[in-house]
């Protein structure tokens, strides 16, 4: 049996495309509800359709599944893509809190939930660092 992070094991554990899409839908629903996420929500357009599509497609590939983001939008460097936004610890933590809440709503094993959240901390940290470096530079 493959471990999470090997081939498409994480993508399969998430329930494939539909499971990832549900995670993203829950993530943005929580972001709309949490007052501490208001600054992060304001970084997005009022209509979240494009953001939902992009995040779903990105996460599918990031989890070892089909590279749907690349197929539709091309290559992405996550930290560079977000560097123009003001993202500090508060925004990073709000984003992670929304994602933690969304992960908790999924019908996944506790082990996969913990693994996924730990993995998501890495790009969240890199995005914050890129944003801070851009503003210092």
Q: What is the pLDDT of residues 46-83, one digit of tens each?
A: 999 999 999 999 999 999 999 999 999 999 888 787 87
DSSP class of residue 99 equals: H
| pLDDT value for 134 | 86
pLDDT tens digit sequence for 114-127: 999 999 999 999 99
Buried b (16+ CB within 10 A) or exposed e, 94-125: bbebbbbbbbeebebeeebbebbeeebeeebe
d(CA 34, CA 2): 36
């Amino acid at each position: 049996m493959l471990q999470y992070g090997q081939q498409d094991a994480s993508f399969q554990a998430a329930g494939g495309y539909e499971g990832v899409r549900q995670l993203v839908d829950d993530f943005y629903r929580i972001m709309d509800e949490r007052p501490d996420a208001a600054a992060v929500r304001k970084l997005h357009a009022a209509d979240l359709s494009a953001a939902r599509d992009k995040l779903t497609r990105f996460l599918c590939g990031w989890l070892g599944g089909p590279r749907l983001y690349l197929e539709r939008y091309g290559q992405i460097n996550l930290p560079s893509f977000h560097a123009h936004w003001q993202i500090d610890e508060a925004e990073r933590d709000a984003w992670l809190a929304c994602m933690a809440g969304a992960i908790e709503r999924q019908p996944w094993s506790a082990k996969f939930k913990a693994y996924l959240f730990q993995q998501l901390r890495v790009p969240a940290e890199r995005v914050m660092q890129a944003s801070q470096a851009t503003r210092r530079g």
